[in-house]
């Protein structure tokens, strides 16, 4: 056993040399050379492996840290681990625990191949950042990259090598609980955010002690789940798949993502995990993805209830032939691959390819050089929840807040003029909810509630009367009276309402997207006090809250902002930070409008008020409650008309569009300036708007900035009638403005 293991040791040393080499070289040629070197080492390891060991590399077991899917009572990883039959573990946390498990893999198995530890580090490891949907509202790609980097730094110190993030599923149905995990509804914004997150997690050098491998998930089209119900069927056109749902995945590949996860859902009759076209033909062949694909939790086994495999054997056959390299908790590849190989259903080449892909990532992570480099208890203590990380989390939280309404400039609250604030509502003193779902090792006790945040900021300046009023759910109104008393005695009421953290995330879907329980009635009662009310929303999805919009003067969307939520919200409420976030997803009036998104098609009968025969509802408007891209500031911005460099764009040339944005208020502020286009006539119908660019500009009070966007033929491309990705000649409208509903317009033509 020892003799064989020693054959691998030179690879550790050689890999170290490769890693050093990689850090000093910049050219693509040298990176290619490094890839070749890794491939050579991978092949050498592969040549030592038995079939059992190869199949073992394809198996991923959950540790006992926490289960993130259904598990059988006899789940036991220890025996297979000792036998070298496990390549990866998930949900095993902490430097100490992962070191112990790694020790078994490295010291007790025949070849000593290190494990790769994976975990859902979605929006922070222990320092928790805003949920991904919220963070996208910052439209701040540097910030998003930094927050992923902080998460990687903490996770890497605690033994993790690999995060199951980013989730890059486009989501247009607020009922779907997992909408909180992604970047919202738009493929352009979603692609940029996907790339930023991949870069943040992986950095420039995967072997560095503060980077981890990323995973683009859930491939593909999980967000198009029917009726917003988790794990449900997806039935979409090829065009929508390619145009809307795939681009963020392609962006992740282009950003160098090392792994992919296959989705739970079926796509047009073929479950993603058995979908050879998606996984093999598109991802591995057309996109030339070199990393490995892990199944979702048990999704190979779930091919049986999907009704596409009769038994484990058939499920394994479908998964491997589709291109799934690693079996997460399905317990299918071991043992089914042995029989499948014997029967010639699966080839040795396929198994070897899957093993190679996994070993390649292990080499890139530097695990063959030092399998314990990530389990560092000292570093774990030092970096986790460091002052620096908390400060970045607070900044991210502030920048994710969206001001939805601010009648008569009720906000920011001025402690000079206010003696007493009533903080009421079920979210006012919650810590548990603030960190949102998928909060890894985030500890709610370490989160700072709104009450604490406000109390710290107002110390000695104004008094806070706190009363909960009601719970998030349920019918109990017995707390109303105390809260109403507090409200009546205050100068202003801050009503913190919303959803529980357990109402969005995996398998946490809702059919009603209003405020749960008696919260709306609670707000109605508060309104009767006649006091000015600021609603602070905390939620993981767009909410349908027309009454709130129509009746409450100020609304702040704060999502679930993470560890530093309280201070960040206080910063905004008290004007220490001027809100700048904009919605990355449309807020519907009610669930009856769903799916609703800004880039809809015009139809043959677009809605015209007062006309009968067109596309609308009798009982609700067609306009959303708040449109995509919407968000206010404590200052105001005025947009000039658009100046185009030309009225014609030719292939190979550029068109510039300029707009001057003036800060017309008395405070400095940041504005997210958005550019959309519309292709008026195409060989297939085109959306009424498509986001094609944006800038986030800090504009001092009274000053202006001129922003210039550049468009090329690339920006006009879409899948035409033959599914060719091309730009068609014709007239285009170009729009610039503060959101998708308030836009300046110009026109140009694309000519061939
Ligand atoms: C199932 C979820 O769909 C996926 O996103 C997650 O990464 C895995 N479970 C592992 O926890």
Per-residue confidence (pLDDT) for residue 9, from 0 to 100: 38
Please state, rounded to an integer, the average pLDDT across all residues of the chain.
95
699 CA to centre of ligand 1 in angstroms? 41
Mutational pocket test of ligand 1: of 69, 92, 132, 165, the residue with most ligand atoms within 8 Å of the beta carbon: 69
C-alpha of residue 264 to centroid of ligand 1, in Å: 10
The predicted pLDDT at position 32 comes to 85
Residue 616 Cα distances to 208, 587, 593, 609, 689, angstroms: 55, 17, 10, 9, 19
Nearest to 283 by CA among 261, 250, 258, 255: 250
* Residue whose CA lies nearest to ligand 1 atom number 8: 297
* Residues involved in catalysis: 296
pLDDT at residue number 28: 63
The ligand 1 atom at the shortest distance from the C-alpha of residue 215 is 7
Beta strand 669-679 with 554-557 is: unpaired
Minimum-distance ligand 1 atom for the alpha carbon of 217: 5
Residue 477: pLDDT over 50:
yes
Q: Which whole number is the average pLDDT over 321-348?
A: 98
pLDDT recorded at residue 714: 98
Beta bridge partners of 271: 266
Q: What is the pLDDT of residues 630-673, one digit of tens each?
A: 999 999 999 999 999 999 999 999 999 999 999 999 999 999 99
Between 348-364 and 312-322, two packed helices, what is the crossing angle to 10 degrees? 60
Q: Tell me the CA distances in angstroms from 464 to 380, 493, 558, 575, one per residue in order.
A: 38, 10, 20, 17
pTM value surpassing 0.85: yes
The arithmetic mean of pLDDT across residues 310-330, rounded, is 98
Q: What is the arithmetic mean of pLDDT over 578-603?
A: 98
pLDDT at 5 over 50: no
Q: Give me the mean pLDDT over the 94-111 stretch.
A: 95
> In this predicted model, what pLDDT tens digit does every residue of 84-100 receive, in sequence order?
999 999 999 899 999 99
Ligand 1 closest atom vs CA 165: 7
Residue 733 C-alpha from the chain's centroid: 31
Report DSSP state, residue 65.
S
The atom of ligand 1 lying closest to the CA of 181 is 5
- The pLDDT score that the predictor gives to residue 397 is 98
- Atom 3 of ligand 1 has which residue's CA nearest to it? 296
Q: How far is the CA of 319 from the centre of ligand 1 (A)?
A: 17
Q: Which residues pair with 179 in a beta bridge?
A: none
Asked if residue 679 lies in contact with residue 730, where contact means CB atoms within 8 angstroms, the answer is yes
The total of other beta-carbon atoms located within 10 Å of residue 44's CB is 14
Percent of the chain with pLDDT over 90: 92
Asked if the model's pLDDT at residue 250 lies above 70, the reply is yes
- H helix and E strand count, the chain: 23, 27
Please compute Rg for the chain using Cα positions. Answer: 27
Which residues' Cβ are closer than 6 Å to ligand 1?
68-69, 90, 120, 164, 217, 296-297, 506
The answer for residues whose C-beta is within 8 angstroms of residue 414's C-beta and 6 or more apart is: 575
- Average pLDDT of span 620-627: 97
Atom 1 in ligand 1: residue holding the nearest Cα: 297
Q: Do 730 and 627 touch, CB atoms closer than 8 A? A: no
The Å distance, Cα 565 to ligand 1 centre, comes to 25
> Would you call the peptide bond into 595 cis, given omega within 30 degrees of 0 as the criterion?
yes
In the block, residue with structure tokens 């992923």: 148
Nearest alpha carbon, ligand 1 atom 11:
68
Tens-digit pLDDT profile for residues 161-213: 999 999 999 999 999 999 999 999 999 999 999 999 999 999 999 999 999 99
Residue-wise pLDDT for 683-711, tens only, equals 999 999 999 999 999 999 999 999 999 99
Please report the pLDDT score of residue 24 as a whole number.
46
pLDDT band at 73 (very low <50, low <70, confident <90, very high): low
Residues, the chain: 752
Q: How confident is the model at residue 20 (pLDDT cuts 50, 70, 90)?
A: very low
Please check the confidence at residue 30 and state whether its pLDDT lies above 80: no
Q: What is the pLDDT of residue 23?
A: 45
Between 579 and 65, whose confidence is greater? 579
Average pLDDT, stretch 78-87? 95
* CA-nearest residue, atom 4 of ligand 1: 296
- 148 — pLDDT class (breaks 50, 70, 90): very high
Phi and psi angles of residue 209, each rounded to the nearest 5 degrees, phi first: -75, -5
Q: How far is CA 38 from CA 15, 16, 67, 360, in A?
A: 8, 11, 33, 7
CA of 623 to the centre of ligand 1 (A): 35
């Amino acid at each position: 056993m020892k003799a064989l293991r020693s054959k691998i040791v030179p690879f550790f040393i050689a890999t170290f040399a490769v890693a050093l080499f990689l850090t000093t070289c910049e050219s693509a040629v040298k990176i290619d050379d490094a890839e070749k070197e890794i491939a050579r080492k991978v092949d050498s390891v592969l040549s030592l492996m038995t079939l059992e060991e190869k199949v073992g590399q394809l198996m991923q077991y959950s540790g006992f840290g926490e289960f993130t899917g259904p598990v059988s009572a006899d789940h036991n990883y220890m025996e297979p681990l000792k036998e070298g039959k496990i390549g990866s573990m998930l949900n095993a946390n902490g430097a100490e625990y992962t070191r112990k498990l790694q020790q078994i893999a490295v010291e007790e198995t025949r070849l000593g191949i290190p494990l790769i530890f994976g975990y859902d580090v979605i929006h922070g490891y222990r320092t928790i950042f805003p949920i991904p949907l919220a963070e996208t509202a910052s439209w701040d790609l540097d910030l998003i990259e930094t927050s992923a980097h902080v998460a990687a730094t903490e996770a890497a110190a605690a033994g993790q090598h690999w995060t199951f993030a980013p989730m890059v599923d486009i989501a247009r149905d607020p009922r779907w609980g997992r909408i909180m995990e992604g970047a919202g509804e738009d493929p352009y914004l979603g692609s940029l955010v996907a790339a930023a997150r991949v870069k943040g997690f992986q950095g420039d050098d995967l072997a560095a002690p503060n980077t981890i491998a990323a995973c683009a998930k859930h491939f593909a089209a999980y967000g198009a789940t029917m009726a917003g119900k988790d794990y449900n069927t997806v039935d979409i056109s090829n065009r929508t798949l390619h145009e809307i749902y795939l681009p963020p995945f392609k962006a992740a590949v282009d950003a160098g993502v090392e792994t992919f996860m296959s989705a739970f859902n079926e796509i047009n009759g073929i479950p993603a995990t058995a979908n050879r076209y998606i996984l093999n033909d598109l991802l591995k062949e057309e996109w030339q993805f070199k990393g490995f694909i892990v199944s979702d939790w048990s999704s190979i086994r779930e091919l049986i209830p999907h009704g596409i495999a009769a038994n484990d054997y058939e499920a394994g056959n479908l998964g491997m032939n589709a291109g799934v390299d690693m079996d997460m908790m399905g317990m299918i590849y071991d043992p089914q691959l042995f029989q499948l190989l014997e029967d010639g259903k699966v080839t040795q080449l396929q198994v070897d390819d899957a093993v190679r892909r996994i070993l390649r990532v292990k080499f890139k992570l530097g695990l063959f050089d030092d399998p314990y480099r990530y389990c560092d208890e000292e570093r774990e203590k030092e970096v986790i929840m460091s002052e620096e990380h908390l400060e970045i989390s607070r900044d991210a939280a502030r920048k994710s807040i969206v001001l939805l309404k601010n009648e008569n400039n009720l906000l920011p609250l001025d402690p000079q003029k206010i003696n007493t604030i009533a903080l009421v509502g079920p979210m006012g003193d919650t810590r548990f909810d603030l960190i949102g779902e998928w909060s890894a090792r985030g500890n709610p006790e370490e989160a700072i509630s709104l009450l604490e945040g406000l109390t710290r900021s107002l110390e000695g300046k104004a008094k806070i009367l706190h009363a909960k009023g009601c719970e998030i759910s349920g019918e109990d109104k017995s707390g109303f009276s105390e809260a109403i008393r507090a409200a009546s005695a205050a100068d202003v009421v801050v009503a913190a309402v919303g959803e529980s953290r357990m109402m969005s995330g995996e398998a946490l879907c809702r059919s009603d997207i209003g405020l749960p329980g008696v919260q709306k009635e609670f707000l109605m009662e508060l309104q009767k006090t006649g006091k000015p009310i600021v609603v602070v929303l905390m939620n993981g999805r767009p909410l349908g809250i027309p009454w709130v919009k129509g009746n409450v003067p100020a609304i702040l969307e704060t999502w679930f902002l993470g560890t530093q939520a309280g201070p960040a919200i206080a910063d905004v409420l008290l004007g220490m930070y001027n809100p700048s976030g904009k919605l990355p997803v449309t807020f519907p009036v009610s669930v009856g409008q769903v799916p609703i998104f800004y880039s809809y098609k015009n139809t043959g009968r677009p809605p015209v008020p007062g006309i009968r025969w067109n596309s609308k509802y009798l009982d609700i408007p067609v306009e959303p409650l708040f449109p995509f891209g919407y968000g206010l500031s404590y200052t105001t911005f005025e947009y000039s008309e658009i100046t185009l460099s030309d009225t014609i764009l030719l292939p190979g040339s550029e068109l510039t569009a300029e707009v001057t944005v003036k800060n017309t208020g008395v405070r400095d502020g940041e504005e997210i300036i958005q550019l959309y286009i519309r292709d008026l006539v195409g060989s297939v119908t085109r959306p009424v708007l498509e986001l094609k660019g944006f800038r986030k500009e800090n504009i001092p009070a009274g000053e202006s900035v001129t922003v210039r966007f550049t468009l090329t033929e690339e920006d006009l491309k879409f899948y035409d009638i033959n599914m060719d990705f091309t730009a068609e000649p014709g007239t285009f409208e170009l729009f610039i403005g503060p959101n998708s509903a308030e836009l300046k317009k110009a026109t140009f033509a694309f000519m061939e």
